[in-house]
Amino acid sequence: MGGNCCWRRLMQHSCVRAFRKHFSISSLTSTRIVTPPTSKNFNTQNNLQNLNQLQFSEKDIIKWNTQITNYMRRGHFESALELFHSMPSRTVVTWNSMISGYLCNRRFRDAHQMFDKMPMRDLFSWNLMLNGYVLHQNLASARWFFEKMPVRDIVSWNTMLSGYARGGFVDEARELFARMPRKNSISWNGMIAAYVQNGRVNEAALLFESRGGWELVSWNCLMGGYVKANRLVEAREIFDRMPDRDEVSWNTMISAYAQNEQLSEAHSLFMKCPSRDAFTWTAMVSGYIQNGRLDEARRVFDQMPQKGVVSWNSIIAGYVYNNSINVARELFEAMPTRSISSWNTMISGYAQRGDIQEARNLFNMMQERNSISWSAMIAGYAQSSRSEEALLLFAKMHRNGERSNRSVYTCVLSTCADTGVLELGMQMHGQVTKIGYESATYVGNALVAMYCKCGSIHKANCAFKGILEKNTVSWNTMIVGYARHGFGLQALAVFESMTKCGTRADYTTMVAVLSACAHAGLVDRAKQYFYAMYSDYGVVPSPRHYTCMIDLLGRSGNLDEAQNLVRNMPFSPDAATWGALLGAAKVHGNIELAEKAAEKIFEMEPDNSGMYVLLSNLYAVSGRWYDVRQMRLKMRDKGVKKVPGYSWLEVQNKIHTFAAGDTCHPEKDRIYSFLEELESRMKQDGYVSSIKLVLHDVDEEEKEHMLKYHSERLAVAYGILTLTKDKPIRVMKNLRICEDCHTAIKHISKLEGRLIIVRDSNRFHHFKQGECSCGDYW
């Protein structure tokens, strides 16, 4: 509220005075006043060619100059230029009007060319171009231009001072300020604003105390600087010392207290405020909302004598964020006038609570939308796992000519990641690169995540390297990506780079590091990180960190050590912890431990179908069919349903989904025929089906048949039939890949000479030449 505002006001007043003075001294070139060209009697397309027929000697130059200015204000600089060239004589004001017009239309080069051609310049001409350099953000050239000016006035010095201040070059501004032969209030106030804008409030205070007679705008500016630095004690001291206060003074202090949970102080000032405007009332409403005191916010809102759109939006947002969507909707319907922000708040509210249909209804009712409206709706679809609708709406957004912002691209890239549609994700990458968002942190993070989740770890690493300012999420995403792809050593190398560059590890980082060790079977490295987590990285071990260690120890065969860790945890084990132990027990065929872990899980999560299936698998492998049937009965009695497994892959921008034994795909006959042929070749290569994994007590031939048509095999077969050999086959699966399919796909990758990448619910498997990146450890 302080710095930018006060400097802008001061410079505007200065320029207005200079313009008025400059144009008021121009004299007429003719004593006879003739009607100049106007928008009514001068059409550039129809009448300009007839301009030579007019009596130029009778034209009033001032009015011609005015017409040039009018053209420039409307952006018709070509018309202004034609009119300029058609004038029989020109004054310096004419040239200045053209330069000023070009600068207002951001045509700096044209302005500079016009300046160079001027037969005679006045000080105003030089100041115009100096301001052009500053607005063009070319401060080095501005300073060169400033130094070569034949004459400089206070406006020249203040313009240069303003450029340094806005560009963040405070020391250069101070040096220039010290050299100024004469300073006016704009100079002094501007220097205060420069310090405040750039966070150097102590220096601003020293300069402020060095003299008296400050204008109110500088008092407000310094107070605003203290508020921005969250130094409310000093801000209040300035407030109390002010000889006069305006609404900005009161509102700045009230808002500062309200936003910093000092509501009693805010309320006290609010009651003393001699004149409350809409901002004053809204500051109190917002303060109560931010501190979770919705009832008091509503009381103040109801007392407001006049409510603006901002006030309505604040109270509506408060109810939305407090999950009182029905009350928010009542207020929304009662609003006399709604802004786009009002609609966006309601759409976001409905979308975030999962009521995507009502959000879409409001979206469809909007007369006008902006990028935030589209972003909120796309994000709502994505968060509701309605990826197809999210992508379709994104396509519609582009057809409507609405420009996407970073939020939209981040959301769409996340949707591509979740669905595994790499081709579309790569198209999005091309778009964000063209716009220049690729190296931005949040979009870059989304790109890394998309490539990681779509199975292209090399491109993920390239996107990661392209992020200019990596945050913790950037590093974590890359570490998790390498870990899930089975490249544990690369994941740990990224982690070491992260610590060396000074980025602090957090809770998620250490989960990713331990997961990387788990996926790669690096037991000793995992122990080293786990037991030094707090001392070296300041991260307190949580249940999830313990779960990673228990999973790693159990799968590596250290079941006793895993159980000891469960017993010695500083908190009670949760379902995920027991699940890790159950998974390890299954790997090593320890039915007793598996039953113990399953019993604990069923107490905590009686509807966890995955654990029922996991225990059933173990019973089936051991041939305990009675126990398998008992587990099925238990699931039926409790109403627990097994999540159906399905796999999908992208072919020519279209998703093809398969379930086990699928008969719905239009090319099913071709797929099944190919699998039959492939089965024969696999057996010749040494493949033996793991019929023990079938959870049905049927004969071996039937078991082999059931395994042959699992969803991941159908997807892999279709990929081989439709994708060229130079392209990897990327298959996504909603559950973990079964052991038999894992073995089968290793053989397929060898026989077909293809790179096959399978993403299951736990990790990635890169199959190539009969080997898997997981090393059969998953």
What DSSP letter does each residue of 211-280 carry, written as one string? -----HHHHHHHHHHHHHTT-HHHHHHHHHH-SS--HHHHHHHHHHHHHTT-HHHHHHHHHH-SS--HHH
Is 295 inside a domain boundary? no
Q: Is residue 700 domain-resident? A: yes
Query: What is the span of the domain harbouring residue 636?
Result: 542-643
Q: Is the pLDDT of residue 16 over 60?
A: no
591 and 687 housed in the same domain: no
Q: Which two tokens stand for residue 337?
A: 């006038």
Q: Return the pLDDT at 399.
A: 86
User: Which class for 705: exposed (0-12), middle (13-18), buried (19 or more C-beta within 10 A)?
Assistant: middle
Among 10-19, 451-460, 635-644, which stretch is predicted with the lowest mean pLDDT? 10-19
User: What pLDDT score does 340 carry?
Assistant: 92
- Residue 447: pLDDT band (50, 70, 90) is very high
Residue 329 predicted with pLDDT over 70 = yes
Which string of DSSP letters, residue by residue, matches 667-688?
Answer: THHHHHHHHHHHHHHHHHTT--
pLDDT surpassing 60 at residue 716: yes
pLDDT for the residue numbered 41: 41
* Cα distance between residue 677 and residue 154, in whole Å: 89
Question: What CATH number did the domain enclosing 609 receive?
Answer: 1.25.40.10
504 or 5, which is more confident?
504
Contact assessment for residue 503 and residue 537, using Cβ atoms and an 8 Å cutoff: no
CA contacts within 13 A on the Cβ side of 226: 20
Q: How confident is the model at residue 703 (pLDDT cuts 50, 70, 90)?
A: very low
> What residues form DSSP beta bridges with 759?
732, 764
- Residue with more model confidence, 136 or 478: 478
* C-beta neighbour count of 626 within 10 angstroms: 10
State pLDDT tens for residues 32-83. 223 344 444 444 434 443 444 344 443 567 777 787 888 888 888 788 888 7
**Number of domains forming the structure of the chain:** 2
Same domain, 763 and 675: yes
pLDDT digits (tens, 9 = 90+) for 229-239: 889 898 898 89
> What is the overall mean pLDDT for the chain?
82
Does position 19 have pLDDT exceeding 80, yes or no?
no
Q: Which of 709, 698, 774, 697 is nearest to 744 (CA)?
A: 709
Q: Which two tokens stand for residue 637?
A: 């009695």
Q: What pTM was estimated for this model as a whole?
A: 0.65
651 and 639 co-located in one domain: no
- Read off φ and ψ for residue 650, nearest 5 degrees: -100, 125
Report pLDDT for 691.
Answer: 53
Given 601, 620, 643, which residue is the final one in a domain? 643
At 168, which amino acid appears?
G
Q: Which of 104-118, 309-323, 525-539 has the lowest mean pLDDT?
A: 104-118
In a domain, residue 309? The reply is no
Pick the last residue of a domain from 591, 624, 643: 643
Q: Is the pLDDT of residue 298 over 80?
A: yes
pLDDT value, residue 478: 96
Note whether 626 and 560 are same-domain residues. Answer: yes
- pLDDT at 11 > cutoff 80: no
Q: Does residue 421 contact residue 655 with C-beta atoms inside 8 Å?
A: yes
Lowest mean pLDDT among 190-204, 356-370, 715-729, 740-754: 190-204
Rounded to an integer, the average pLDDT of 694-719 is 66
Output the pLDDT for position 777: 66
Same domain membership, residue 650 and residue 637: no
pLDDT value of residue 31: 26
pLDDT at 245: 87
pLDDT given for residue 707 in this prediction: 61
Residue 444 resides in a domain: no
**Residue 698 placed within a domain:** yes
How much of the chain exceeds pLDDT 90, in percent? Answer: 30
Q: What is the pLDDT of residues 603-657, one digit of tens each?
A: 888 887 877 777 787 777 777 878 878 878 887 877 777 778 889 998 887 889 9
pLDDT at 635 (0 to 100): 79
The answer to whether residue 476 sits within a structural domain is no
Q: Is residue 615 part of a domain?
A: yes
Residues contacting residue 726 through CB under 8 Å, at least 6 positions apart:
none
Closest CA to 607 of 574, 645, 639, 632: 639
Model pLDDT, residue 697: 39
684 and 710 part of one domain: yes
Residue 778's pLDDT is: 63
Res. 706 pLDDT band, cuts 50 70 90:
low
Domain identity same for 714 and 610: no
Structural element, H or E, at residue 650: strand 646-651
Q: Which among 602, 624, 643 is the end of a domain?
A: 643
Q: Could you give the strand order of the β-sheet that contains 646-651, starting from the edge strand earlier in sequence?
A: 654-659, 646-651, 729-733, 756-759, 764-768, 771-772
Q: Are residues 741 and 659 in the same domain?
A: yes
Task: Dump pLDDT digits (tens) for 586-600.
Answer: 888 888 888 888 888
3-state secondary structure of 456: coil
Q: Are residues 622 and 693 in the same domain?
A: no
Other CB atoms within 10 A of residue 687 CB? 18
Tell me what percent of the residues of the chain surpass a pLDDT of 70. Answer: 90
Residues contacting 299, CB < 8 A, separation 6+? none
For residues 615 and 670, membership in a common domain is answered with no
Q: What is the DSSP string of 513-561?
A: HHHHHHHHT-HHHHHHHHHTHHHHH-----HHHHHHHHHHHHHTT-HHH
Q: How confident is the model at residue 511 (pLDDT cuts 50, 70, 90)?
A: very high
Q: What is the pLDDT of residues 196-229, one digit of tens each?
A: 888 888 888 888 888 888 888 888 888 888 888 8
Grade residue 3 by pLDDT with cuts at 50, 70 and 90.
Answer: very low
State whether 550 and 634 are in the same domain.
Answer: yes
Q: Rounded CA gap, 41 and 141, in Å?
A: 42
Which pLDDT does position 334 carry in this prediction? 93
Average pLDDT, integer, range 14-26: 34
Residue 561 above 80 pLDDT? yes
pLDDT at position 338 over 70: yes
Give residue 258's pLDDT band: very low, low, confident or very high (50, 70, 90): confident
Q: Averaged over 380-390, what is the pLDDT? A: 87
**196: Cβ–Cβ under 8 A, 6 or more apart, which residues?**
2, 3, 204, 221, 222, 224, 225, 228
DSSP three-state, residue 4? helix
Looking at the domain assignment, is residue 745 inside a domain?
yes
Identify the residue with better confidence: 183 or 683: 683
Which are the contacts of 180, defined by CB distance < 8 A and separation ≥ 6?
Answer: 157, 161, 187
- Maximum CA extent, the chain: 115
Do 753 and 654 belong to one domain? yes
More confident residue, 158 or 452: 452
